[in-house]
């Protein structure tokens, strides 16, 4: 066998942690099949390296992750969220990296709660930021807990501890099958803005004439602040082409997560409202179906007197059509000291898997 080649094989064998004598390597049997030996060593090397790493104590931790489509009962529609149901072992940096890796609008991380009145603590991350609250990820994680983790068999309510306070989630079942999860959002707030409506229309990518002058443009809150923009028709909302960078700057100045366009004039049969949501300030150009923004919209409608509070209102809201991910939100507005806003829907678990992270 060529001396140089024999030396290379000897090096690869030793690097692969195989116990083979020099005499055997120099034998005629090996020299006659040395190309095959080289191929086998190249294959064996990574496997042996991983095995040696594990022996050296460089173990990996396995993290279960789920991809859940919220506000739909059809896969690949609605708003996809990541859910990590056992996050107690994760650092904040690991959570940020997982959210980047999943690359969904939001990922929810569940922790054990040290407060007896809560079942879990939840944190929400976009690929770029931590959010105080996320509606569709709350629907997704609640659906996962109720079905995959069996919570629908032992309770009708899951209580979540979040950065904005307690968020109770009701589980609705029919014939022992989960039909909907409904979260009660925190009490709504509304505040005025100083920006010119025509400028907001320009940044939202619609004409000033498309604004519905019957209703004010305001900021509204049920967990996150959203800029609420009334528009005359679904057609004009669908035609919106926002100035993303300028809209991002405006929302950052306003401390608003997103800009939320809405109309009562929808062509979707059976729906009360149609919406679109843009969130470049939190790293989301457009969100398919937004639980927090539509909850804030309902709070705005109630507090501005657009929905009279003498009655309980049940709204069916459509969103996501322009993105090819149509979804449905069911929103209830009930009279209270402040209007009580509940947002619900169904979900579909589309992907489950394991992330391997170094310990």
What is the set of active-site residues? 106
- Cβ neighbours for 13, distance < 8 A, ≥ 6 positions apart: 20, 25, 41
8 Å CB contact between 343 and 300: no
Closest CA to 306 of 202, 200, 190, 186: 190
**Nearest in space to 77 (alpha carbons), one of 309, 245, 289, 313:** 289
Residue with tokens 């030396």: 7
DSSP assignments along 246-275, one per residue: HHHHHHHHHT-SEEEEEES---STT-SEEE
| Tokens matching residue 82 | 């990541």
- What is the residue-wise DSSP string for 84-112? ES--TT--HHHHHHHHHHHTSS-EEEEEE
How many C-beta atoms lie closer than 10 Å to residue 67's C-beta? 19
In angstroms, rounded to a whole number, what is the distance separating the alpha carbons of residues 43 and 35? 13
Q: 191 is written with which tokens?
A: 């505040």
Ranges of H-type helices in the chain: 3-15, 22-25, 28-31, 34-55, 92-102, 135-147, 197-204, 234-238, 244-254, 291-303
Torsion of CA 306, 308, 311, 312, to 10 degrees: 30
């Amino acid at each position: 066998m060529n001396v140089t080649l024999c030396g290379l094989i000897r090096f690869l064998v030793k690097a692969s942690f195989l116990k083979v004598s020099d005499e055997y390597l120099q034998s005629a049997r090996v020299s006659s099949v040395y190309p095959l030996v080289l191929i086998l060593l190249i294959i064996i090397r990574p496997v042996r390296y991983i095995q040696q790493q594990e022996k050296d104590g460089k173990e990996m931790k396995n993290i279960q992750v789920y991809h859940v489509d919220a506000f739909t009962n059809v896969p690949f529609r609605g708003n996809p969220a990541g859910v990590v149901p056992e996050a107690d072992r994760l650092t904040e940096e690991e959570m940020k990296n997982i959210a980047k890796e999943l690359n969904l609008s939001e990922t929810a991380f569940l922790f054990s709660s040290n407060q007896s009145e809560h079942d879990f603590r939840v944190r929400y991350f976009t690929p770029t930021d931590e959010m105080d609250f996320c509606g569709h990820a709350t629907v997704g994680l609640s659906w996962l807990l109720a079905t995959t983790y069996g919570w629908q068999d032992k309770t009708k309510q899951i209580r979540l501890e979040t950065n904005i306070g307690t968020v109770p989630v009701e589980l609705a079942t029919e014939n022992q099958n989960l039909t909907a999860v409904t979260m009660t959002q925190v009490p709504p707030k509304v505040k005025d803005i100083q920006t010119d409506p025509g400028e907001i229309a320009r940044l939202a990518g619609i004409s000033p004439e498309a604004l519905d002058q019957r209703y004010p443009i305001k900021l509204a809150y049920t967990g996150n602040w959203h800029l609420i923009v009334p528009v005359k028709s679904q057609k004009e909302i669908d035609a919106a082409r926002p100035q993303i960078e300028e809209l991002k700057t405006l929302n950052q100045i306003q401390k608003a997560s997103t800009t939320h366009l809405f109309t009562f004039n929808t062509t979707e049969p059976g729906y009360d409202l149609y919406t679109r949501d843009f969130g470049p300030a939190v790293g989301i150009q457009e969100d398919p179906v937004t639980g927090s923004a539509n909850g804030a919209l309902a709070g705005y409608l109630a507090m501005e007197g657009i929905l009279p509070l003498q009655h309980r209102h049940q709204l069916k809201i459509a969103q996501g059509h322009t993105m090819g991910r149509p979804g449905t939100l069911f929103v209830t507005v009930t009279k209270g000291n402040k209007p009580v806003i509940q947002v619900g829907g169904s979900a579909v678990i589309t992907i489950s898997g394991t992330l391997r992270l170094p310990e």
